[in-house]
Amino acid sequence: MHASQRTNPCKRTALCLALAIGLGFAGLAPAQSNTAGAIYGRASQGDTVVIENAATGFRREIAVGADGGFRAPQTPSGSYTVTLRRADGSSQVRERVAVSVGTGTQIDFSTGDTTTLDAVTVRADAVNPVDVSSVESTTILSARQLAAIPVARDATSVALLAPGTVRGDAAFGNLASFGGSSVAENAYYVNGFNITNAFNNLAFAQIPFEAIAEQQVKTGGYGAEFGRSTGGVVNLITRRGTNEFSAGGAIYWTPSSLAGKTPDIHLDNGDLLEDNSKDQGEQSSIALWAGGALVKDRLFAYGLVQFARNQADAWGDVNAGVNTRTRTRSPTWLLKMDWNIAQDHLLELTSFSDVARATQTVHTNGEGALDRTGVLGTVHTEQGGTSHALKYTGYFGDDFTLSALYGYGKFSRSIYGIAANGIRQEWSGDIHAPDTGCPVVVDQRNSTLLGVTAAIHGCDFIGGTLGRPDAGDTRRQFRVDAEWQLGDHQLRFGYDADRFTSVAGGAVEGGQVWNYATIDPDGVPLNDDDIDFVVNVVFKNGATVDVDQRAFYIEDSWQVTPNFLAYAGLRWDSFENKNGNGQSYVSIDNQLGPRLGFAWDVNGDSSLKVFGNAGRYALPLTATVAIRGASASIFSQQLFFYDGVDPATGAPTGATPFTPVTYLNNEFGANKDPRTIASDNLQPMYQDEYILGFQKQIGDHWSLGLRTVFRDLRRAIDDNCDERAIYDWALDNGYVDPDGDPFEAPGDSTVPKEIAFINPGFTFCHLYNPGSDGIFNIDIDGNGTLEKVTIDAATLGPKAKRSYSAAEFFFEGHWDKLFLQGSYTWARSTGNTEGGVKSDIGQADTGTTQDFDYRELMLGANGPLPNDRKHTLKVFGNYELNDQWSVGGNLLVQSGRPINCFGVYGSDPLHYGASYFSCSDAPGTDADGDGVLDNGTQIVPRGSAGRTPWQRQLDLNVAWKPAFADGRLTFKLDVFNVFDSRTVTSVVETGETAQGSSLFDTVYGIPTGFQAPRSVRLMLQYAF
């Protein structure tokens, strides 16, 4: 985008037209915090409202304003007594008024004649389900509700209960996709602290599930306070201590003996590919907790420790030669401290650890059998770390509230291996130093002329790359938020700064690959013309990189009339990404995100709400982009003759090079010039969102609603690796071919300059905004001076496109013994890019997928995207049969995901193999109708090869609280996938080999993933 356009990000967009119109009545309902709620309502001028929580000592007195309104912002979640004290001495009391995070609880004292009464008490056991103070699309579930329904004990599974969410690809850990966005576009918080792992946005810090008091899931429409997300927001609030001491413990066990089996997988010809009959897994955990007041009404503590243990045996592919057994141990804990320094000043500390250590034993497997003939080695990984957040909240009079938070977190991603012979397989920490362990060995020879065995294994046992043993991330976050009531306007503003540092890298095991092959000129093996040789490949990268993020926001919530609330907000985001030398390679300032919304209390009694909003949401680059793309890396290749093979390591002996070292992708091991990484006009990824809906209360117990959602990805970031466009630019601007062929230079130049693409100054791939011109800084002739190379957008490839349309019908019901909640969503997600990751092939290179590397890769790329699920029905709830027994259920019915066909396009000049939307044997007709396919190629548009089957799953539970234990003891049985449905969730989408041979009669379309088989979870809990 040109500079003139950057100065006005709203120019010619529908969003900004809506904003301009909306500013005529500027704003939304009372804006809510991401850590607390609010109590608001109406009374008479001169009255005083007292808000008290006997359990926590929280107390505030609010004077009713001249307009008859009162509001208590930043009220922590919990149950409150709200008392109205009138000037004449009479009073009204509302007890058990529930406040949830991010919502407003309305209390109206202005109706009814109570002037003759000394006290009126009204019990309110639940919040009115129609929250007229918010325009957000939010689902909130309490700890009590989560304990009552059969759901996996993790934040993602809870998020998937919300409308508009679907489970992402298993390659990324089954994270949630919100509103058609990729799973790498979400934000996660605990008590206001951002716990999103910005290395690749595919992980977040986990708190022990028993410690969750509330989980808020924002699927859209969130205000300017929230940013760095184009998907959804998961907001966790932990338990805390109260004046009443409580403690307890729980044991969970998921035995393998009660679990179903994943189906076996066969090739199209019936041959067995994967035998899962021996696969099994078992999970167990124990948690202990206690909470109470260290000083009554002043100082509180809540602590929890949990130890979880999982074991998984994976036998799998009968031809793989290996199978694995993995043991994971997770000693986790959480501490929450709350200090009421004074009535109007609060301090809270949240600390937790989510470390998980896994040991995977790799066993040898007999050919075509399922057995364990030996041990090749073990792989050791560590994930997780510790996080700490300290938050202050101050109430300065009735009208001004200030909070400040500082958080610090560390996250480990360590991995190393130990071979059976004791050799440690580990990244050395220096890309120029040799790594420990044995090299990866591949034997592709057609000859054994040297008397070497046909299969060389050495001591390699993983067959891939290893990360750094010191890999991990550190976050330092500071934020301050203020809220100021000015008459009818509720102003909120704030600043947050987030510095995320990542240590990462990878290397081939042993630091190199030895690939044995044969030159056979006449094609007849084992005769005198055969020549054995070996190719040495070195691939290593590693760096310490930073992502610095800063943001300001301001919001104005205006009570236009007693029944109409309006909101206008603006967010300023700045992003800076730094390479391994601490140099900035991407810096984007003043990315503006306008937000606009309204909520109309149609009847004035919170029984019917009409709401809508429009917003712009931006996403910064992740840290992983810099590890290889912007920092030093090595990718080299050299060919050798050899005399023999070391039987211990598989490395060649007597190796003699017969080619020089060739550096692929210009990865020389030298530091990359930060000016060459990104296009000069690079702008952040952003998305516009529009929501319109209503919610209606039906009687005293039901509410239902409908909202329509439209999301449009306006700009994306990816990398382009097409050197052809740069080569053509060089020829057009007076340079000559590298081989010295003459070229007529323009102007008066008489000395042509040579193109020197193979030099450290040439970055192979460049970040840019697909659909925009690329303005790249490249040392074309290798003389140390960067030339500014401008490539038009059409030459680089198409514009990134992604749109999401949905209609969400949602309902909720609460009775004394029953709660029921659910939704039906019709959705459509289409475009030519999924976003940060590429589920089609399981590519987790967030922000630098292969999508836009070359324009040919985008032929046929437009269509239904991987997270497109047209129909989704969710229903969950619980019914208390009596004081001792209750039953719960969770139903999911969902249509399948689209299927592609990937193959080779033409003669594959890009050497990308089976990576195109092209399969010569795919069903379909040719584009021009002449019955002839060019070069045997058939473009198969994205998602046109069918869909996976519908998925149906019913989970049930039953809980028993025996009378003799006075409600303190609970036994619970959860059964997941009661009918043991085995629906295929993913299939092989590669229709051709890298050489273009058809796979339609072998592996194309066979399952790669199934619905999780039936499992049974047993729980024993005692609490007092």
The reported pLDDT for the residue numbered 68 is 83
| DSSP letters for 45-113 | TT-EEEEEETTTTEEEEEE--TTSEEEEEEEPSEEEEEEEE-TTS-EEEEEEEEE-TT-EEEEE-SSS-
Confidence bin at 601 (pLDDT 50/70/90): very high
What is the mean pLDDT of the segment spanning 151-174?
A: 94
pLDDT tens sequence across 39-90 = 888 888 889 999 999 999 999 999 888 888 888 888 898 889 999 998 888 8
Query: For residue 738, is pLDDT > 80?
Result: no
pLDDT tens readout for residues 552-596: 999 999 989 989 999 999 999 999 999 999 999 999 988 999 999
- What pLDDT is recorded for position 825? 98
Helix (H), strand (E) counts: the chain: 7, 60
- Give residue 741's pLDDT band: very low, low, confident or very high (50, 70, 90): very low
pLDDT at residue 32 in the model? 54
**pLDDT beyond 70 at 635:** yes
CA proximity to 760, closest of 616, 633, 625, 615: 633
CA separation, residue 341 to residues 176, 295, 299, 357, 401 (Å):
39, 11, 8, 39, 15
What pLDDT, on a 0 to 100 scale, did the predictor assign at position 378? Answer: 87
Q: What does the pLDDT look like over 436-489, one tens digit per residue?
A: 777 888 887 775 544 444 445 556 556 567 778 889 999 999 999 999 999 889
- Considering the entire predicted model, what is its pTM? 0.90
DSSP 8-state secondary structure symbol assigned to residue 919: -
pLDDT value at residue 30: 45
> Which of 416-425, 705-714, 786-795, 907-916 has the highest average model confidence (pLDDT)?
705-714
Ranked by mean pLDDT, the top range of 731-735, 737-741, 769-773 is 769-773
As a whole number, mean pLDDT of residues 419-429 equals 74
**What's the whole-number average pLDDT of the chain?**
86
Which residue did the predictor score with more confidence, 867 or 321? 867
pLDDT for the residue 5: 34
pLDDT at residue number 166: 97
Instruction: Indicate the pairing of strand 465-467 with strand 440-443.
Output: unpaired
Pick from 239, 231, 365, 341: nearest CA to 291: 239
> Residue 274's closest CA among 173, 373, 368?
368
Tokens linked to 607: 């029984």
On the question of pLDDT at 747 being above 50, the answer is: no
Q: How do residues 246-284 score in pLDDT, each as one tens digit?
A: 999 999 999 999 999 999 998 888 888 888 888 889 999
- State how far the Cα of 843 lies from the Cα of 845, in Å rounded to an integer: 6
Q: What is the average per-residue pLDDT within 408-432?
A: 82
At 819-841, the pLDDT tens digits run 999 999 999 999 999 999 999 89
Structure tokens at 527: 């005769």
Instruction: Determine the Cα angle at 395 with ends 391 and 397, to 5°.
Output: 165
Lowest mean pLDDT among 20-24, 622-626, 876-880: 20-24
Residue scoring higher pLDDT (706 or 629): 706
Mean pLDDT of 311-316: 87
Q: How far apart are CA 853 and CA 910, in angstroms?
A: 10
pLDDT value at 604 more than 80:
yes
State what percent of residues in the chain have pLDDT above 70: 88
- pLDDT for res 208: 95
Q: Residue 763's pLDDT is what?
A: 59
